Structure 1
Amino acid sequence: MVTILLVAVVCLAIIFDFINGFHDAANSIATIVSTKVLTPFQAVLWAAFFNFLAYIAVRYWGFHGGNFEVANTVAKTVLLQFINIHVVLAGLIAAITWNLITWWFGIPSSSSHTLIGGFAGAGMTNALFMGANAFNAVNGSVVIKTVAYIFLAPFIGLFIAYVVTIIILHICKNARPAKAEKWFKTGQLISSAALSFAHGGNDAQKVMGIIYVALVSQQVITEGTPMPNWIPIACYSAIALGTMSGGWKIVKTMGTKITKVTPLEGVAAESAGAITLFITENFGIPVSTTHTITGSIIGVGLTKRVSAVRWGVTINLVWAWIITIPISALLAGLVYALVRNW
């Protein structure tokens, strides 16, 4: 039966995807804006188009085998017996709250980990109210994998970006600088499109998993039923619309504060970020687009010299990444305690 609370949860989930879009817009467009390949307005339209194209690729072109593996992983974060509509509601409220706080201060934290932390925190709190061990409420393998990639994804992006940059520099060492820069500005259109495509495919799926378990908890559908088609359409559309709305505070941090990025380095960073996301998405790992592209930008900075990276800014970002899951989990636990009797 469809209840008012379920409708509210679905609306909040779609709102979260919209916020995710403008919060994470910087991931796809920061370098292309900072190198002046596109204006900010052109860049967000470009990114939004490829965000939504990811849905078409999975659903109709058989990309990733036509499966939404990341959505399946996120849906399994909390064990089904500890999920009810209030758990999903609390997780979403906490995730939206932390996303808006970090956006306001221009901190490129992970929307993915905010959502997973909120969902897990609410589920663990529900377990306590049920008289069970809180840690029994979460799927250990999913949580461990997610936490591991907080650290692994940036390093994978960093390594790939470093290697790609070195290869490009070697290939183009005899090219005229003006001509090479023109090539790379064109190349950034392709690399930023690939990153936006990967971002849409990875991030939209996380909310799809949340909506799915909300429907299962309310017995609208049964577990194992194929995901209704309206869920991915709504989620991919919301993240694309959110991307179009910008997120300029984080664009400034990503595009200029970590290291100065040239068109060549923009191509390398975006290509590395896209490759990392395609690989992890194929295995259903809900990694952070933010962490991945940040690592990639650091990687291209390291090809110049270690001091080219502003490590003070980077360390602040790492602290934000580390505290995101615990804070969103704590917020969700508090919210769940308040809303559980609604």
Structure 2
Amino acid sequence: MLDIFSGMPFGAATMLALALFFVLAYEFINGFHDTANAVATVIYTKAMPAHLAVIGSGIFNFLGVMLGGLGVAYAIVHLLPVDLLLNVGVGHGLYMVYALLAAAIIWNLGTWYFGIPASSSHTLIGSIMGVGIANALMNNQYWLSGINTKKAIDIMLSLLISPTIGFVMAAILLLALKKWRSQSRMHMTPEERKTTDGKKHPPFWTRATLIASAMGMSFAHGSNDGQKGIGLLMLVLIGLAPAKFALDMDSTTYQIERTVDAAQHMQSFYESNRERLNGKIDLTHSAEHPLPTLFKCESKTTLPAISSLLSTLQGVKSYNDLSGEDRRKVRRILLCLDDTAKKASKLDILSKQEKADLDKLRKDLNATTEYAPQWVIVAVALALGLGTMVGWKRIVLTVGEKIGNKGMTYAQGNAAQLTAASAIGIASWTGMPVSTTHILSSAVAGTMVANKSGLQGGTVKSILMAWVLTLPVTMLLSGGLFWLASVLFA
């Protein structure tokens, strides 16, 4: 880990270390901000003592990060255009990183202080989009050129749709439980259970399900939100130390050869289908056309980019054999080729087999760019797991008592947790970032409506206001801080 600072000036190394520290601080805050959603129902229903619930949740959050993969992480990284990631200077990159981290931390701490279940996902994504848009405007470019608009739309849709799914599915699950066993004690609140049976805890199987679903949700939260932390840390490392992190320096010769083979097969495909594709994808520049030093990700540069890539990687057995600038160029080319292949694979003129082949080639092409060092994964897992064990009480009170007009029954807790854990787990598996907070709070609200308990207007209004305001506020805050830092320290 410490070798990332080798060869860097002391000032730059210090600033990079601070940036890494603040990323982990954000993830720590994310832990106690969002983990309350995972333990709220299990604590409120007396299924587990609070101290055991948060310790167990911290452990399962840690495991979720360690075993969750990297699909969501690189959905976050690819939110910014390749050119912005690889062309910023160290000073400019530091302003960008500090601005987005400051905006995310300020909003997360503010909503936590007031006990409002706001989304850390919205917060992070809004902060990244804010600095991207500000960078474009400051360079007299079209404002949307500062972000990867297609990736942003995909992420926005997942963040918008997932709360609705949580609300509806939790309500349906609760109604199914009521129809299956309408007289069961699972439909009691803790107070009703104590009055009726004189017992403090839920019935055995109900309690076991509540605990299992809470730990499952903690694991799902770690695998989804933990990946966002990994993505943010890689965003910092790729942006501020691209010579060392633009490519996976531990890539084997076989992995590099897979990358070269994928590029060669893509070249053959584009050249043999050039006339058929030209109506949809611009492939006007031939392989002999010179590739500009600072080229943009445009389909017309695809064939020259492949030619340049093959020339650069000819005979290369290890990325350590390349200069820092060549590594940056290779990463830029690989991401641009991936973007063109993604567009091509969605064309109706291609057969199902051709689309499948392109998807396989894309996977081989990205084998050495979509990665994270083990120390990055462990550091994020520890920050999230430790953060889970503190600061949870404010959000627990809101989720457990202030969403519905009546107390939460055991069945409601189970329905909300099972729905949220399933939805977040599926999102992590498909590589889409979603909001743990909004899915669970929506699921709790869905069970309240299905149980005819009614909703507390004030709390629901606060949650909705946070949901609506988080993106624009964090975009303005991070963009404003980035502009201010660039003006003051230029």
The TM-score, its normalising length taken from structure 1, stands at 0.92
Task: Provide the residue aligned with 2:391 in structure 1.
Answer: 246
CA contact (8 A) 1:181 1:263 kept: no
Residues 85-164 of structure 1 mapped to structure 2, 5 A cutoff: 85-164=94-173
Q: Distance in 2 between matches of 1:176 and 1:43?
A: 22
Task: Provide the residue aligned with 2:468 in structure 1.
Answer: 322
Task: Provide the residue aligned with 2:76 in structure 1.
Answer: 74
Deviation at 1:174, TM superposition (A): 5.5
Partner SS for 1:109:
coil
Deviation at 1:125, TM superposition (A): 1.0
Q: Distance in 2 between matches of 1:270 and 1:11?
A: 32
Task: Provide the residue aligned with 1:262 in structure 2.
Answer: 409
Asked if residue 183 in structure 1 is aligned to residue 205 in structure 2, the reply is: yes
Task: Provide the residue aligned with 2:424 in structure 1.
Answer: 277
CA contact (8 A) 2:66 2:378 kept: no
Q: Distance in 2 between matches of 1:313 and 1:189?
A: 26
**What residue identity is the alignment partner of 1:95?**
A
Deviations 1:218-276 (A, max 9, x none): 21311416311111111111111001013211111111100221112111110000011
Q: Distance in 2 between matches of 1:132 and 1:76?
A: 19
Deviations 1:71-97 (A, max 9, x none): 010001111322433212210111001
CA contact (8 A) 2:33 2:112 kept: yes
Q: Distance in 2 between matches of 1:56 and 1:335?
A: 33
Partner SS for 2:431:
coil
Deviation at 1:173, TM superposition (A): 3.1
Deviation at 1:172, TM superposition (A): 2.2
- Residue number among 145, 170, 174 corresponding to 1:165 in the alignment: 174
Q: Which has the larger radius of gyration?
A: 2
Task: Provide the residue aligned with 1:61 in structure 2.
Answer: none
Task: Provide the residue aligned with 2:338 in structure 1.
Answer: none
Change in CA separation of 1:159 and 1:28 when aligned onto 2, cut-off 3 Å: same
Task: Provide the residue aligned with 1:29 in structure 2.
Answer: 39
Q: Which has the higher helix share?
A: 1
Asked if residue 54 in structure 1 is aligned to residue 45 in structure 2, the reply is: no
**What residue identity is the alignment partner of 2:77?**
A
CA contact (8 A) 1:18 1:241 kept: yes
Q: Distance in 2 between matches of 1:174 and 1:206?
A: 43
Deviation at 1:200, TM superposition (A): 0.7
**What residue identity is the alignment partner of 1:339?**
A
- Residue number among 287, 293, 312 corresponding to 2:458 in the alignment: 312
- Residue number among 437, 450, 458 corresponding to 1:290 in the alignment: 437
Task: Provide the residue aligned with 1:63 in structure 2.
Answer: none
Deviation at 1:28, TM superposition (A): 0.4
Task: Provide the residue aligned with 1:15 in structure 2.
Answer: 25
Q: Distance in 2 between matches of 1:150 and 1:320?
A: 13
CA contact (8 A) 2:66 2:377 kept: no
Task: Provide the residue aligned with 2:50 in structure 1.
Answer: 40
Q: Distance in 2 between matches of 1:108 and 1:125?
A: 28
CA contact (8 A) 2:30 2:384 kept: yes
Q: Distance in 2 between matches of 1:149 and 1:257?
A: 26
Task: Provide the residue aligned with 1:209 in structure 2.
Answer: 231
Deviation at 1:49, TM superposition (A): 1.1
Q: Distance in 2 between matches of 1:273 and 1:46?
A: 18
Q: Distance in 2 between matches of 1:174 and 1:266?
A: 17
Deviation at 1:52, TM superposition (A): 0.9
Deviation at 1:176, TM superposition (A): 6.0
CA contact (8 A) 1:150 1:321 kept: no
Task: Provide the residue aligned with 2:281 in structure 1.
Answer: none
CA contact (8 A) 2:449 2:455 kept: yes
Q: Identity over aligned residues, as a percent?
A: 33
Q: Distance in 1 between matches of 2:239 and 2:27?
A: 21
Could you say what the CA RMSD is over the residues aligned between the two structures, in angstroms? 1.9
Partner SS for 2:36:
helix
Task: Identify the range of structure 1 (318-327 vs 163-172) with the bigger mean alpha-carbon deviation.
Answer: 163-172
**What residue identity is the alignment partner of 2:205?**
W
**What residue identity is the alignment partner of 1:302?**
V
What is the number of equivalent residue pairs in this alignment? 333
Q: Distance in 1 between matches of 2:161 and 2:224?
A: 16
> Structure 2: where are the runs of 5+ without partners?
6-12, 86-92, 187-192, 247-330, 332-368
Q: Distance in 1 between matches of 2:182 and 2:203?
A: 12
Task: Provide the residue aligned with 1:333 in structure 2.
Answer: 479
Deviations 1:148-183 (A, max 9, x none): 233311111112211221222223235466798442
Q: Distance in 2 between matches of 1:174 and 1:124?
A: 56
Partner SS for 1:308:
coil
**What residue identity is the alignment partner of 2:245?**
I
Deviations 1:294-331 (A, max 9, x none): 111011112211x5222332122111111101111111
- Residue number among 232, 236, 240 corresponding to 2:381 in the alignment: 236
**What residue identity is the alignment partner of 1:221?**
F
Change in CA separation of 1:184 and 1:13 when aligned onto 2, cut-off 3 Å: same
**What residue identity is the alignment partner of 1:267?**
N
Task: Provide the residue aligned with 1:221 in structure 2.
Answer: 245
